[in-house]
A and B are shown apart, each in its own frame.
Chain A
Amino acid sequence: MASTTKEKVGWSTANILVVLFAIIPVLWILSLSFKDPSSLTDGSFVPKDWTWSNYKGIFKTSEFTRALVNSIGIALISTFVAVLFASMAAYAIARLRFPGKSVLIGMSLLIAMFPAISLVTPLFNIERNLGIFDTWIGLIIPYITFGLPLAIYTLSAFFREIPWELEKAAKMDGATPFQAFTKVIAPLAAPGMFTTAILVFILCWNDFLFAISLTSTLRARTVPAAIGFFTGSSQFESPIGSIAAASVIITIPIIVFVLFFQRRIVAGLTSGAVKG
C-alpha cells in the first residue's frame, strides 16, 4: 500500500485522537488519586502536590481491603467454574452429534441478553430464604450464570477452529487417549480457554448491580459496590480521594490484561459474533 506523507499524518492524527479519547478519563481518575486533600477541588487536570495518602488511607480500613479480597475470590471462583462447565458444553457443541444443540445455544443467548434487574428481585428473595444472601456463594451463582453464555459462545467459536483430526493422528502414532488429550488437544484448546477466562473475569469484576443488591455487609461486598458506598466518614476528609485510589487499584488488573493479551481479547470478543 503506497501511502503519501499526507495520508500518514492523517492516520497518525486519527490514531492519537482515538488513544486520547480512550485514556483521558482514566488519567483523570489517576490524577485525582494522587491529589492532596487540599488541592482536590482545584479542578486542575494534573495534581499540584503529589501524595500517596489516598492509597495509604484505603489500605488502612477493612472497608476496602476486605472488598478487594471478596472481589478477587468471587471473580476467580466464578470464572473457573463458568469456564470449566462451558468448556464441556462447547466441546460437545463443536464435536458431538446430539439433538438440542440449537436449543442450548438459543438459551445461552437469551440469558446473555437478559436484563439483570429482572433477576435481582427474585434472586434477592430466593437467596434470603436459602440463607445465602450476603455470602460469596450468593454472588458466585449469578456470576456463573451470566458468565456461562459468554463462555459457551466464545469457546464454541474457538473449539470449531481446532484441527481435531490431530487427536486421531496422535493415536495412530501410538499415543494413549490420555496422551493425545494432554499433549495434542489441550495445548491447542488452552489459548481459547484462557481468552474466555479473561472475558468472563472482566464480566464478574465489573458487576455492580448484583453486588449492591445481593450483599448488605463487608462479608461479600465487592470493590465496585464498596466504592459506591464510600462516604466522607471521619477517616476521610472527602471520599473523592479514596474513591479515586480504590478505582485505580481495581483498574490495574484490567489494564495489565489488556496490555498483554490485546490480540486475544479482540479475537475472543469478535469470533462468536461474526462467524456466527
Chain B
Amino acid sequence: MSADTQTIAAEPVSAPVAKKQKKQLSEGARAERRLGFILCAPAVIIMLAVAAYPIIYSIWLSLQRYDLRFPDQAKFIGFSNYGAVLSSRYWWEAFFNTVVITVVSVVIELALGMALALVMHRTIWGRGGVRTSILIPYGIVTVVAAYSWQFAWTPSTGYLSRLFGDAAPLTSHWQAMAVIILAEVWKTTPFMALLLMAGLALVPEDLQKAAKVDGASAWQRFTQVTLPLMKPAILVALLFRTLDAFRIFDNIFILTSGGHNTGSVSILGYDNLFTALNLGIGSAISVLIFICVAIIGFLFIKGFGAAAPGSEMR
C-alpha cells in the first residue's frame, strides 16, 4: 500500500522533468546520452575487439597461403583457399552431415519440446520436480553428457549396447549419426521446451474455453487456437536452436571425433587448424561457416518473419 502511494506521489514530479527534457535537447538530455554511451562502452569495446576484429582478421587470413609448419612462406593468394575448400569432398560431406543433424534434431526437438511444454504447462502435481529435472540436461556439461552416451553405446561396457544385443552403433555412419542426434536432442530439448512453455503461457485461457464451448476438440483447439498464437515463440525457439545446432562440435568430438564420416563443419574447421595446422584453409572454413549461419538467420527473420528477438526493445 505504502509503495503505491509513493509511486503516485512521484508521478507529478517526473512529468514536468520529462517535458523540460523534450523541449530543449539540453544539458539533461545530453548528460543522459553521455551516461548511456559511457555505460555501454566497456561491453561494446569488448564485443568489437574479441568478435568483430577476429572475424575481419580471419577473412584476411583466409586469403593467404598460411601453413603453421612453414610460417615464413605465408603469401597472399586471393580466393584459392575458398576454391580448395569448396571443391573438396570433405567440405561437402561435413556440410551434408551438419545439415542432416541440424534438420533432424531440430524437428525432433520441436515435437518433443512441444509435448514437454504441454506437460509442464498443464500438469498440476509435481510441476517443480519436472522443471527441475529437465533443467539438468540444459545445465550439464555437453562433454559429460556425450561421454555418458558414448559409454552407454560401447559394447560390453554400456547398458544400452547390452540392451540392443551388444550393438556397436558408433562404428557405422548412419547409426553413429543417430547417436549424435540422440545426444543433441537430449541435451537441448529442455531449452526448446522452456521457450515454448513461455509461449504457451501467453495464450489466453479464455480463448481455449471459448473454443471448447464452440465444440472444438482438444486437437482442434491445439492446432487452430494455440499454435497460431504461439507462432512467434515457435519461430524464435527454432531460430535459436537451428543456429545452435549448426555449430555442433562437442558431441561429435567426444562421440566419434568425426570418424566414420560423421564430422560437422565445425569439426572440419578444427581439424584443419589443429591437425593439418593450415591456418589459411582453417580460416576459409571459419568464414564459410559464418556465412552459412548468417544465411540461416536471414532466412528465418526475412523469410519466415521471425521477430528478431530484442527488436521490439526500446
Contacts and interface: CB of A to CB of B under 8 A. Distances in A.
Interface of A: 1, 3, 8, 11-12, 14-15, 18-19, 21-23, 25-26, 28-29, 32, 40-41, 43-45, 85-86, 88-89, 91-93, 96-102, 104-109, 111, 113-126, 141-142, 144-145, 148-149, 152-153, 156, 163, 165-166, 168-170, 172-173, 202, 205-206, 208-209, 213, 223-224, 227-228, 240, 243-244, 247, 250-251, 254-255, 257-259, 262-263, 265-266, 269-270, 272-274, 276
B122 to A, nearest CB: 7
B313 A276 contact: yes
A254 B270 contact: no
A34 B59 CA distance: 49
B142 interface: yes
Given A19-B130, A29-B147, A96-B36, A228 B47 contact: no
Interface string B258-272: 000000011001100
A12 B124 CA distance: 9
B279 A121 contact: yes
| Nearest 3 A/B pairs, CB to CB | A98-B36, A169-B6, A270-B198
Given A12-B125, A96-B32, A262-B131, A274 B143 contact: no
A209 B313 contact: no
B40 A104 contact: yes
Interface string B119-157: 100111110111111111111111111011101100011
Nearest to B280: A121
Contact of A22 (B58, B133, B142, B247): B133
Given A168-B14, A223-B141, 15 more contacts: A8-B125, A12-B125, A21-B186, A22-B137, A41-B157, A109-B308, A113-B293, A116-B249, A122-B283, A145-B50, A145-B51, A202-B139, A209-B266, A266-B135, A274-B202
Between B39, B134, B162, B191, the greatest number of chain A beta carbons within 10 A of the residue's beta carbon is seen for B39
B35 A96 contact: yes
A24 to B, nearest CB: 9
Nearest to B21: A97
Interface stretch (B85-93, B100-108, B284-292): B284-292
Contacts of A23: 133, 136
Contact of A107 (B44, B197, B249, B282): B44
Given A43-B162, A121-B269, A11 B122 contact: yes
Contact of B40 (A88, A149, A265): A88
A169 B36 contact: no
B253 interface: yes
Contacts of B145: 25
B20 to A, nearest CB: 14
Contacts of B307: 276
A148 B50 CA distance: 11
Interface in B1-52: 3, 6-7, 9-11, 13-14, 29, 32-33, 35-37, 39-40, 42-44, 46-47, 50-51
A11 B50 contact: no
Contacts of B152: 25, 28
A117 B195 contact: no
18 contacts: A11-B123, A18-B133, A29-B147, A85-B43, A89-B44, A92-B36, A100-B40, A104-B40, A115-B293, A118-B287, A118-B289, A142-B50, A172-B9, A173-B6, A254-B136, A263-B131, A269-B195, A273-B309
B47 A108 contact: yes
A108 B310 CA distance: 10
Question: For A22, A102, A163, which residue has the most chain B Cβ atoms within 10 angstroms?
Answer: A22
Contacts of A15: 119, 123, 125-126, 129-130
Contacts of B42: 85, 88-89
Contacts of B29: 97
B110 interface: no
A25 to B, nearest CB: 4
Contacts of B130: 15, 18-19
Contacts of A250: 141, 144
